[in-house]
Amino acid sequence: LYQSLRQKLMTLPATTRVYPAHGPGSLCGKTTSPDLDSTIGKELASNYALQAMPEAEFVRQLLADQPFVPRYFGYDVQLNKQGAPSFEAGVRAVPRLGSAAAPAPGVLLLDTRPAAEFRAGHLPGAVNLMDGGKFETWLGSVIAPDEPFYLLAETQIQLDAVIRKAAKIGYEPLIKGALLTPVHLPATSPAVDVEAVRTHPGQFTIVDIRNRTEAAKPLFKSALLIPFPELRERVGEIPTNKPVLVHCAGGYRSAAGASIVQNALPEVKVYDLGEAVKEWE
């Protein structure tokens, strides 16, 4: 890459237009620009990777602080190599469960409703992975490509939407069933007292589930860092002698993270700081 950049791309006229292979926010690279096009001249002036440096330094800078690799990346590579099945056929094949059907015990249930609705009532053992702009990215980060799961949503339109998002990363064969919100939702989650967190943070075991680059600037002293994609495997590291407070950067990941921790540590009060975390930024 070092040689190709310098011997081929950087020798092109400064007015040569450049188009990105990924949109902003892609996990395939770091510091991805929000621009949808550029020029060789602009990149030579502003792109860190195109500045004068030895090859060893180029490699060091390129590899430093790369985003995490979601679990579905390798799976999708193999799927694309062998030829992915029909998208629409895969979506249609997902079992839609009736209102009286109950998820099989021991199979992960992903409740895609908003966090406030989940806290007010949900099925025991559910994880609150909310529908959103990056739903499929986080789905493929916490669910292995061989792990079956259920999807739950409030309406048929919302349920169809999350099924299609799961199919974008080839996960539709893993969906054991898709169901609408049942009438009886026996489990609840406690709401956080933000003022108590602000005045007495030491009364909580605080778990920061941001990625390591984000967490380079801690929001709470002595917070335990467990990046969200690692949480299910490392939840046993969380002390249980105090209530647990889970936070991320904006509230999306912490909703899922708090439900994961609560399921794993049912004897402990677990709170989701949610969007209130922005008060500490």
User: How is residue 60 written in tokens?
Assistant: 């060091």
Q: Give the percent of the chain with pLDDT over 90.
A: 86
Q: What pLDDT was estimated at residue 32? A: 74
Q: Which two tokens stand for residue 70?
A: 């979601």
Pick the CATH number of 72-180 from 3.40.50.300, 3.20.20.370, 3.40.630.30, 3.40.250.10: 3.40.250.10
pLDDT digits (tens, 9 = 90+) for 37-69: 999 999 999 999 999 999 999 999 988 877 778
DSSP 213-270: TGGGS-SSTTPEE--GGGHHHHGGGS--SS-EEEE-SSSHHHHHHHHHHHHH-TTS-E
> Residue 23 pLDDT > 70, yes or no?
no
Domain 194-280 in the same topology as domain 72-180: yes
List the domain boundaries for the chain.
2-63, 72-180, 194-280
pLDDT digits (tens, 9 = 90+) for 154-202: 999 999 999 999 999 999 999 999 999 999 999 999 999 999 999 999 9
Query: What is residue 203's predicted lDDT score, i.e. its pLDDT?
Result: 97
Could you give phi then psi for residue 253, rounded to 5 degrees?
A: -65, -35
CATH number of 194-280: 3.40.250.10
Which residue would you say has higher pLDDT here, 66 or 256? 256
- Global confidence as pTM: 0.85
Handedness of CA 181, 183, 188, 193 (dihedral sign): positive
